[in-house]
Amino acid sequence: MQNSEDSVLSLLKKSEEFLKRKNIPSPRLDAELLLADLLKIPRVKLYVDFERPLSLIEKDAYRERILERSKSRPTAYIIGKKSFFDSEFYVDQNVLIPRPETEELVAWVLEDFSKGQGSLEILDLCSGSGCIGISLAKPKANWIVHFSDVSPEAMNITKRNSSEILGGDRKIEFFESDLFSSIPKDKSFDCIVSNPPYIPEKEKGEIMPDVLNYEPHLALFLSDFEEFHVKLLGQGFPFLKEGGRLYLETHPEYSGWLREAALKVGYSDAVLRKDLSSKERFLRLTK
């Protein structure tokens, strides 16, 4: 026997309350995302069918998901996907979950290159899910996009998303590389974009459990912010064409330092940009 207790609406409400008690930051949204994915319907469709009863199997599976989320496991890892820019990316614990700030970085690059029609060579450095390079490649059919990541597991996910979202016919190259060390020396790029790890390890204590206990530390933390970035800036310079650009997402408290460090390396026209929370999170450099 089904009763109203088993309806979409009542289960959403109960789950939201449970997640709220467990201090999960966006309890309603997560309850909805987890249920919509389970029922294989778009999230808005939940409210069209809000009296729809769930079967016993569906209820058990949903309970399992809500329990996982209550232990801080990110919703994106539970459902294995995250929306970013205008695509949906497969994600698991080998890659960072794409963040809304990074969408602003992609938008900046597209804005700067909106006029040119040429076939540009682009590199997404530390590609992870591939969200940056794939979002750039999608509207720019003649751009040649390259991806690099130090982690072979992450590289596999970049490849998977790239073939699912861009299809198999695009001219794309993948490099498993510690920064630029394994990228062939004869390559040169019009534009390099990167959201590298940028949280100093000493800030680990301030990071929320969703991130700290589940996301790959390799993609997040640095033991020495300055050393890593001096290396990135120095190694990257010879890979840029004259007039080429390097875009970085970075730690707002280190962005001023990073700008100065880049000018010392020889980059010019170093422009900082704030994110939507008014934090200086992006840097654009020109060679």
Start-to-end C-alpha separation, the chain = 69
Q: What angle do the packed helices 27-39 and 56-70 form, to 10 degrees?
A: 140
Binding ligand GLN (rule: CB under 6 A), the pick from 131, 172, 183, 233 is 131
Candidate ranges 35-43, 137-145, 193-201, 271-279; the one touching ligand GLN (CB under 6 A)? 193-201
Using the Cα atoms of residue 156, residue 145, residue 184 and residue 169 in order, give the sign of their dihedral. positive
CB of 49 to ligand GLN, least distance (A): 33
Among 66, 96, 123, 283, binds ligand GLN (CB under 6 A): 96
Nearer to ligand GLN, 126 or 155 (CB): 126
Given strand 240-249, what is the order of strands in its sheet? 172-176, 144-149, 121-125, 189-194, 240-249, 280-286, 268-274
Largest CA distance in the chain: 73
Asked whether residue 25 is marked as a ligand-binding residue, the answer is no
User: CB nearest ligand GLN: which residue?
Assistant: 128
Per CB under 6 A, does 135 bind ligand GLN?
Answer: no
271 strand-pairing partners? 284
By 3-state DSSP, what share of the chain in percent is helix, strand and coil, each rounded to 5? 45, 20, 35
Q: What are phi and psi of 119, to 5 degrees?
A: -90, 100
**168/2 Cα distance (integer angstroms):** 46
The yes or no reply on residue 122 touching ligand GLN (CB under 6 A) is no
**41: DSSP letter:** S
Pairing of strands 280-286, 268-274: antiparallel
Provide the minimum distance between the beta carbon of 192 and ligand GLN in the complex, in angstroms, as a whole number: 12
CB 270 within 8 A of CB 262: yes
* Total of residues contacting ligand GLN (CB under 6 A): 13
Among 129, 135, 161, 162, the residue binding ligand GLN under the rule CB under 6 A is 129
Neighbours of 134 (CB within 10 A): 26
What character string, x for contact with ligand GLN (CB under 6 A) and - otherwise, covers 211-240?
--------x---------------------
Q: Name which of 96 and 261 has its Cβ closer to ligand GLN.
A: 96
Which among 64-72, 176-184, 191-199, 203-211 is the span making contact with ligand GLN, rule CB under 6 A? 191-199
Interface with ligand GLN by CB under 6 A: which range of 64-72, 126-134, 205-213, 251-259?
Answer: 126-134
Site for ligand GLN contains 126 (CB under 6 A): yes
**Binding-site residues from annotation for S-adenosyl-L-methionine:** 149, 195
Residues that bind ligand GLN (CB under 6 A): 96, 98, 102, 126-129, 131-132, 195-197, 219
